[in-house]
Chain A
Amino acid sequence: DTAVSQTPKYLVTQMGNDKSIKCEQNLGHDTMYWYKQDSKKFLKIMFSYNNKELIINETVPNRFSPKSPDKAHLNLHINSLELGDSAVYFCASSQNRGFQPQHFGDGTRLSIL
């Protein structure tokens, strides 16, 4: 029933590890996004895919690699985690890449020890 679901909800791990976050949407949308929300609640776009094609790639360290196996899924893999990666990561989707409402998942809280 959930429109945009991401797993896991919480991720606690050591510095230097590699981890992945998964996202799935059942809305039939063409476009999916990854956002990072910092401790001050500021939401910033990281990546966007439209029909499995990367269309937005903000200045994000290349330790972050998104992958879209199909248009309903967008995963985020992070290598060599650093303390500064601690944040809440949100997945979102929209019907297309035009000026559409975006539907967000409930976030993954990543804590680096």
Chain B
Amino acid sequence: TQLLEQSPQFLSIQEGENLTVYCNSSSVFSSLQWYRQEPGEGPVLLVTVVTGGEVKKLKRLTFQFGDARKDSSLHITAAQPGDTGLYLCAGYSRSNTGKLIFGQGTTLQVKP
């Protein structure tokens, strides 16, 4: 069974601080996706990383895929209250059925 472990589960920080969220597995994933979910809404895709060692930037968010394609991280620089939300990593299972496996999520609160 492929599993994704996310840490930390909860994070409460002050505006302007930096933070990193981790997504780890003992399995290799062909790609990993990061989603953000706000209260009362569905998850929205932020980024997909495909190549081992790949780094992608989205404004103040930096996403990295591990060299062995078993882990990923999300780093936010100078967090803002608008970054508050639930961050989910997800990877597609090896079988090509479109089954997306989600991590448990990281709830981020950025206080002004």
Chain B interface size, as a band, is: 20 to 34
A104 touches B44 (CB 8 A): yes
Chain A interface size, as a band, is: 20 to 34
CA distance A98 to B97 in the complex (A): 7
CA distance A97 to B37 in the complex (A): 22
Q: Which of A31, A42, A103, A106 contacts B98 (CB 8 A)?
A: A31
- Give the interface segment out of B15-23, B65-73, B74-82, B101-109: B101-109
CA distance A55 to B102 in the complex (A): 18
Q: Which of B88, B98, B101, B107 contacts A50 (CB 8 A)?
A: B98
Count the A-B residue pairs with Cβ separation under 8 angstroms: how many? 64
Taken residue by residue from 19 to 61, chain B's Cβ proximity to chain A (1 for < 8 Å, 0 otherwise) reads as 0000000000011010001001111110010000000000000
A42 touches B104 (CB 8 A): yes
Question: Which residues of A does B touch, CB under 8 Å?
Answer: 4, 31, 33, 40-45, 48, 50, 55-56, 90, 92, 94, 96-107
26 A-B residue pairs with CB within 8 Å: A4-B42, A31-B98, A33-B100, A41-B37, A41-B86, A41-B104, A42-B102, A43-B88, A43-B90, A43-B102, A45-B100, A45-B101, A48-B98, A92-B42, A94-B98, A97-B97, A97-B98, A98-B98, A99-B96, A102-B100, A104-B43, A104-B44, A105-B42, A106-B41, A106-B42, A107-B41
